[in-house]
């Protein structure tokens, strides 16, 4: 009992003595800065001791002794092998104040590379990617020896060899010889790549589709040299087919045969997707879209995409459907057959291009369009890594189009008088044409992000042609290109550019319309209305009504549109905008009469798309303004 009491007394006495002989510490470091200072502070025990509530004096003195070696180790990765370090540890001037440690560092001369023997041997010695790695070696002669760059370089070579299929590669030599006294280092790095593996075959477990389809979806050929980017492209090809909701591509290596087989682990998606969207715009009124996509009709991977659109303005109805049949040996090549139907209440207008109000009352009629097309859809790679593939459609189309203002026979007295005075108008008020045309369309998308942070560009172009010798009522050739570009500046600023240009080689007809003391010269293109250019409205030249910019507002042969918009994000999902638009659709190429509008707007990014409110003023009538409001997607 006496012995136990004595032990407790001694322990308590030592604890009290240790607490009395302890404190905290503050460390100051001079002579180095930047990454050197940061690494010293992370390596020196005296600095780490600043976070302790208290530390014994004998431990502080031991840390001060260790500081010189710790600083040397901290500077060595940056090439400083012979620094001079002075350490001073000062006791506190009064009770309660911390100890103060001061480290004065002179890093000295850095070690530099004297010679660098960097070699790649084996089958990959002439591999272009390996040669590029060698050309970018970061530690040439006279470079400061930085161990992080040395390690990053040789590890990068290992990764590159793995990515290129040199799975048996190894370093036959990897060393640094440093002479601190002479301030130089010799580097030697020799990597033997060994053989390059090649792709073998693929296998699919529990396949729901035909072997012919999987052969088509497999873009990697047997005996092709291994490259990990090809595995990524193969996975992307399976995903882009739209047939699977889960895609895993596993590699199985055979070191004896030096091949890599692929194992597709796929989960087939449900066959049908249904969609319904609604929207509203000052140009269009209410909009409704209903869609049905059948992702596969059989084990061959053929598919069907259909949609129905309804729009309040002009009681417009649109239906489209396209069947795609796999063709050839590539996953993005299809034969297509499509149908397009549109019906709307439309007007034949009498607008003087130099005036805002009509000269005569328009004739209201029903316009119907039905088009059947057959063609080929395929994707073409262009600047991989920067753009998605170009979507190319080449087709032949038969369009039936009619306009009938006499069907409703709701003519005003002025309409009757105008028709009686100008009987030549009748052929424009009751039309029916069948046009056979050949065309090619391209779409190049490169969009990423969502909401305000959507950025990138989309470019569209087409060429169309028809000739009377093929049974069409009119011959024409048309070319078009348009695109939009969104660029972000920081987290709050965005620049939006948009442009369109179209040219048509087609005949126009001139018609003088006279009634009493009023007269109007109409310029009418012979193009079917489906192929005519029009602009103006919420999504083109703001400040003007929907499709109100074209020759006499009946559509035209040529088109020029440009827009620049600046958007500033104010809140998490809303922003303010300022814009300037210019453009017109016209028949006279030498006198485009471009219209301009400018204004400000508000954007609110929602789950169903951006809500956009713009107030725009046309430069032709600066005293007026127009409100543009849209939410949701456009009609089909």
Task: Render pLDDT for 7-28 as a digit per residue (tens, 0 to 9).
Answer: 443 343 333 333 335 568 899 9
- What is the torsional sign of CA 294, 297, 299, 300? negative
| Average pLDDT score over residue span 70-74 | 94
Cβ-proximal residues to 411 (8 Å cutoff; 6+ apart), any chain: 363, 419
**Per-residue confidence (pLDDT) for residue 387, from 0 to 100:** 66
- Percent of residues, the chain, with pLDDT higher than 90: 68
CB 266 within 8 A of CB 244: yes
Instruction: Give 94's DSSP letter.
Output: S
| Average pLDDT score over residue span 39-47 | 92
CB 558 within 8 A of CB 530: no
CA distance 549 to 556: 9
Q: Count Cβ neighbours within 10 Å for each residue of 79-111 and write b for 16 or more, e otherwise.
A: bbbbbebebebeeeeeeeeebebbbebebeebb
Owner of token pair 């960097």: 118
pLDDT tier at 580 (50, 70, 90 boundaries)? very high
CB 566 within 8 A of CB 581: no
Cβ-proximal residues to 268 (8 Å cutoff; 6+ apart), any chain: 208, 209, 243, 244, 245
Q: Which two tokens stand for residue 44?
A: 């020196």
Say how many Å lie between the first and final Cα of the chain, rounded.
96
Phi, psi of 32, deg, nearest 5: -135, 160
Look at residue 629 and tell me whether its pLDDT is greater than 50: yes
Q: Which two tokens stand for residue 546?
A: 């929907």
CA distance 472 to 401: 12
| Average pLDDT score over residue span 230-248 | 93
Look at residue 606 and tell me whether its pLDDT is greater than 50: yes
Domains of the chain and CATH, by start: 20-106 (3.10.20.310), 112-192 (3.10.20.310), 198-268 (3.10.20.310), 272-631 (2.40.160.50)
DSSP reduced 3-state for 568? strand
| Average pLDDT score over residue span 236-241 | 92
- Would the pTM count as exceeding 0.75? yes
CA distance 636 to 630: 15
Cβ-proximal residues to 13 (8 Å cutoff; 6+ apart), any chain: none
Q: Which two tokens stand for residue 73?
A: 């180790």
Count CA atoms within 13 Å of residue 538 on its CB side: 17
CA distance 79 to 87: 22
pLDDT tier at 69 (50, 70, 90 boundaries)? very high
The DSSP code sequence of 57-81 is HHHHHHHHHHHHHHHHHHHGGGT--
The number of residues making up the chain comes to: 636
Tell me the pLDDT tens digit for each residue of 431-471: 999 999 999 999 998 888 888 998 899 999 999 999 998 87
DSSP reduced 3-state for 24? coil
Look at residue 72 and tell me whether its pLDDT is greater than 80: yes
């Amino acid at each position: 009992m006496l012995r136990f009491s004595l032990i407790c007394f001694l322990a308590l006495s030592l604890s009290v003595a240790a607490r009395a002989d302890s404190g905290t510490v503050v460390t100051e470091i001079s002579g180095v800065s930047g990454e050197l200072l940061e690494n010293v502070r992370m390596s020196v025990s005296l600095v780490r001791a600043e976070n302790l509530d208290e530390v014994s004096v004998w431990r502080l003195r031991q840390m001060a002794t260790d500081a010189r070696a710790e600083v040397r180790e901290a500077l060595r990765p940056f090439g400083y092998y012979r620094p001079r370090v002075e350490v001073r540890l000062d006791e506190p001037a009064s009770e309660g104040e911390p100890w103060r440690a001061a480290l004065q560092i002179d890093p000295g001369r850095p070690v530099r590379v004297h010679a660098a023997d960097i070699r790649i041997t084996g089958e990959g010695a002439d591999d272009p990617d390996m040669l590029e790695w060698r050309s970018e070696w970061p530690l040439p002669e006279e470079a400061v020896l930085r161990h992080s760059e040395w390690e990053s370089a040789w590890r990068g070579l290992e990764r590159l060899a793995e990515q290129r299929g040199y799975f048996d590669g190894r370093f036959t030599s990897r060393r640094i010889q440093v002479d601190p006294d002479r301030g130089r280092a010799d580097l030697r790095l020799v990597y033997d790549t060994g053989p390059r593996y090649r792709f073998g075959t693929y296998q699919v477990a529990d396949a729901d589709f035909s072997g012919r389809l999987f052969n088509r979806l497999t873009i990697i050929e047997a005996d092709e040299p291994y490259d990990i980017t090809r595995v990524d492209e193969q996975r992307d090809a399976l995903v882009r087919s739209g047939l699977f909701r889960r895609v895993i591509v596993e590699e199985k290596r055979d070191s004896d045969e030096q091949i890599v087989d692929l194992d597709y682990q796929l989960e087939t998606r449900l066959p049908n997707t249904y969609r319904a969207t609604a929207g509203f715009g000052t140009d269009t009124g209410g909009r409704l879209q209903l869609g049905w996509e059948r992702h596969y009709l059989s084990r061959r991977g053929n598919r069907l995409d259909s949609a129905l659109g309804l729009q309040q303005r002009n009681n417009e109805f649109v239906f489209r459907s396209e069947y795609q049949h796999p063709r050839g040996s590539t996953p993005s090549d299809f034969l297509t057959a499509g149908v397009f139907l549109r019906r709307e209440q439309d007007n034949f207008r009498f607008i003087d291009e130099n005036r805002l109000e009509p000269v005569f009352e328009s004739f209201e009629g029903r316009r119907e369009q039905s088009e059947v097309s057959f063609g080929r859809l395929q994707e073409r790679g262009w600047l991989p890594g920067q753009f998605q593939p170009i979507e190319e459609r080449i087709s032949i189309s038969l369009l039936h189009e009619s306009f009938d203002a006499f069907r409703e026979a709701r003519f005003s007295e002025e309409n009757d008088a105008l028709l009686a005075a100008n009987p030549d108008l009748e052929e424009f008020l009751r039309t029916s044409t069948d046009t056979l045309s050949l065309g090619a369309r391209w779409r190049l998308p490169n969009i990423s992000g969502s909401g305000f942070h959507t950025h990138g560009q989309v470019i569209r172009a087409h060429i169309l042609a028809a000739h009377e010798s093929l049974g069409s009522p009119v011959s024409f050739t048309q070319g078009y290109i348009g695109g939009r570009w969104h660029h972000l500046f920081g987290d709050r600023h965005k620049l939006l550019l948009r442009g369109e240009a179209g040219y048509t080689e087609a005949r126009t007809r001139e018609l003088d319309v006279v009634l009493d003391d009023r007269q109007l010269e109409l310029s009418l293109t012979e193009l079917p209305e489906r192929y005519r250019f029009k602009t103006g409205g919420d999504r083109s030249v703001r400040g003007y009504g929907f499709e109100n910019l074209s020759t006499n507002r009946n559509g035209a042969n040529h088109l020029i549109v440009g827009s620049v918009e600046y958007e500033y994000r104010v809140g998490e999902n809303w922003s303010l905008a300022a814009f300037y638009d210019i453009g017109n659709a016209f028949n006279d190429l030498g006198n485009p009469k471009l219209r301009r509008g400018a204004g400000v707007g508000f954007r609110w990014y929602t789950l169903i798309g951006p809500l956009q409110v713009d107030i725009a003023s046309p430069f032709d009538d600066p005293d007026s303004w127009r409100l543009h409001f849209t939410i949701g997607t456009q009609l089909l």
